Structure 1
């Protein structure tokens, strides 16, 4: 087709007009709007980094119902007497001061076509990019006899805050020589070493305050994270106190009766004084409402944590089905930084760096007896893939174990500052 002078001029003018026209973003605003749902290790980090690094080019709203966030990581140390509950609490004031619009409300729905998030208080919030970091919810019927209505009698304590305080109060009130029972969760679940660090911390408290008490662990798995390290520590520090019952011996065949305070393992009923039921887990409910889950977890693309169901929705942390990374606070924080960089690049054209991820999980077995496991990861077309890893060894010196524990304390201070500013 021949292009004459008039057509060329008209075509050029139209192109210039198109380039000069302001881009219209969510709610008709002149800057893009990112909405983040969930103010934990993933959501708070993503909101902070997008607001900080975009230098005002992107409006960021964080939707989080609680005004104080209590970390699930390190909550076991509260059970063991190494921390106070206030040591685990963090407010959102610094995030707000750093340019994040913090909205304390429940997100109760997502309309992906309209690109809006519905709020419990009424109305909705529009977005250009949506980041979901809702943590976990529990699979209904996962433990026979238990549901959320029983969480006050048999707490899960797998979300930080009041449940953790309740479980500690119950442990402290145990009668002399009483029995603490744990129903451990099946894979995958938040913080793979978490239940076994909890056993260690409860044992630490009982050894000092109720030394004839017993601990029973009913576990549907035949092995668990850091198993050799924990079992070495239990033998050394809490000999005769802890009975771990794996799947081979009936640990997968468990029911509970919260009213009678009994646990039945492979047909054998035991009266207990405290029962910590940690059920099977799935992504937080808002991910299901957004229709980005496979029924339990939310599949994502490894390069940027975007949902495989919607390129404008991202899922972080425990809720994401991403590959080899464990579900942990460190993982969520690492994924959030990759996501924040990708979202900022998509909305402003800034440089997007190749995705790199890392994780370390520390556990405390006894006073100054810390162990760890960790790895580095990279994004492939299929998943977040493990590159290399490390784990503490059995038989390590007391000095090395103390150094590992001190390292974990430094990490906690660092990650919470990285999350909340």
Structure 2
């Protein structure tokens, strides 16, 4: 790790000493010092928030804390599973963010001392803050399905955090004999990017159609209905007739557990033994949110939607997939919009500059074949503790032409390029 990308232990120790001096300093001196904002989580929400804070006021002391040197993006990662895209196209670093004046600490935060306003690392060093932004994304709930834990994911990958798991699932599908079955276990909501499992089923079917045409995809679903269901089902009939079967909740589709030794998937109405199994377990806010006391018994973080301020702990804001957002989806685009809006709120509070947070918009593309996609866009506004969708959104029409769907596929690629450039520079 280069010095430009990570604070050394000596630098973090210096921050500790500085924070102690600040506590002892007269109030007038503290008021004149730079306000310190720490952002934990370097995904779309956290990276965008850190950049927006520096852009809002160059005098703010902004630190981005992230456990990984490289971020691997989830949008378009289903194309990696289907061997349509290389995983390197999904990976981004933090050099450009650091070059803009955001301090980067590429280590995992292990605790948050809310009364003392400190973030703690594994070696005991701490980082002081005036405001803390939590953008930890999701964690997988490995207690939700009997027999499915982190070790089991090496046999039945979840591939719902992009990276090694994405490649593992791709490898398993490529090695499966023709005539085999790929099963996808889909959880109930709330979950990250609700259309993603159905996009995954579509792109796996695309790969099977080209390379293993006697094979099929089985969706075991904990829901009876899902976002843009008619568009997906229409695409499956047109592109992959007879290749994709979905068993909804009411017909026994909810997976309750697995038996790893026999590679068995257990549902309420019966068992299955697919050749490849993709288990997407229920989810919750990233672990640091619970350690900070910002997550409630649902596993997610309640917030004041107007300010992203935690309802449970002071001087802490929560953005992105981790928060209880109501109508706003848990998606990359929504997280990025929240990061920018949260930065505007914090900059206004700390600097006294009058500014209005930008509107919360989000768009989600679902790719069902390399030249076939559709989208759903929304505009959201605070309504109490959640976000409500307002007029201004759009969805792809059911009867869209092939040309229109091809344009949507091209737009998805352009959107991803713009999204990642905006977040990571």
* TM norm structure 1: 0.92
| Secondary structure of residue in 2 paired with 1:228 | helix
Deviation at 1:89? 0.4
| Secondary structure of residue in 2 paired with 1:341 | helix
Residue in 2 that maps onto 1:216: 218
Give unmatched runs, 5+ long, in structure 1: 1-19
| Secondary structure of residue in 2 paired with 1:151 | helix
Contact conserved, 1:355 with 1:378, CA < 8 A, in 2?
no
CA distance in 2, matches of 1:283, 1:348: 30
Q: Does 1:336 align with 2:342?
A: no
Residue in 1 that maps onto 2:197: 195
Residue in 2 that maps onto 1:10: none
Q: Does 1:353 align with 2:352?
A: no
Residue deviations 1:217-253, cap 9 Å, x none? 1101000111111111111111111110001110125
| Secondary structure of residue in 1 paired with 2:377 | strand
CA distance in 1, matches of 2:288, 2:250: 36
Q: Does 1:99 align with 2:101?
A: yes
Deviation at 1:121? 3.3
Contact conserved, 1:79 with 1:205, CA < 8 A, in 2?
no
Residue in 2 that maps onto 1:226: 228
CA distance in 2, matches of 1:244, 1:261: 20
Q: 1:384 aligns with which of 384, 387, 395?
A: 387
Instruction: Spell out the pairing of 1:150-229 with structure 2 (5 A cutoff).
Output: 150-229=152-231
Instruction: Spell out the pairing of 1:360-371 with structure 2 (5 A cutoff).
Output: 360-371=363-374
Deviation at 1:47? 0.5
Greater displacement, 239-248 / 258-267: 258-267
Q: Does 1:31 align with 2:37?
A: no
CA distance in 1, matches of 2:193, 2:99: 31
Greater displacement, 139-148 / 295-304: 139-148
Contact conserved, 2:293 with 2:313, CA < 8 A, in 1?
no
| Secondary structure of residue in 2 paired with 1:148 | coil
Contact conserved, 2:185 with 2:255, CA < 8 A, in 1?
no
Deviation at 1:354? 4.7
Deviation at 1:355? 5.5
Q: 1:286 aligns with which of 288, 291, 301?
A: 288
Greater displacement, 329-338 / 251-260: 251-260
Contact conserved, 2:265 with 2:271, CA < 8 A, in 1?
yes
CA distance in 1, matches of 2:357, 2:60: 21
Q: 1:203 to 1:288 in 2, by over 3 A?
A: same
| Secondary structure of residue in 1 paired with 2:378 | strand
Deviation at 1:30? 2.1
Deviation at 1:254? 3.6
Contact conserved, 2:340 with 2:357, CA < 8 A, in 1?
no
**Runs (4+) off by over 6 Å:** none
Q: 1:370 to 1:67 in 2, by over 3 A?
A: same
Deviation at 1:395? 2.3
Q: Does 1:412 align with 2:413?
A: no
Residue deviations 1:1-41, cap 9 Å, x none? xxxxxxxxxxxxxxxxxxx974417xxx9211111100001
Q: 2:401 aligns with which of 377, 397, 404?
A: 397
CA distance in 2, matches of 1:259, 1:63: 39
Residue in 2 that maps onto 1:12: none
Radius of gyration: which is bigger? 1
Residue deviations 1:103-150, cap 9 Å, x none? 110111011000001112331111000000001012243222211121
Contact conserved, 1:356 with 1:379, CA < 8 A, in 2?
no
CA distance in 2, matches of 1:382, 1:292: 14
Residue in 2 that maps onto 1:8: none
| Secondary structure of residue in 1 paired with 2:288 | helix
Contact conserved, 1:105 with 1:121, CA < 8 A, in 2?
no
Q: 1:327 aligns with which of 315, 327, 330?
A: 330
* TM norm structure 2: 0.91
Contact conserved, 1:167 with 1:276, CA < 8 A, in 2?
yes
Contact conserved, 2:345 with 2:357, CA < 8 A, in 1?
no
| Secondary structure of residue in 2 paired with 1:188 | coil
CA distance in 1, matches of 2:214, 2:204: 13
| Secondary structure of residue in 1 paired with 2:380 | strand
Contact conserved, 1:303 with 1:354, CA < 8 A, in 2?
no
CA distance in 2, matches of 1:85, 1:409: 14
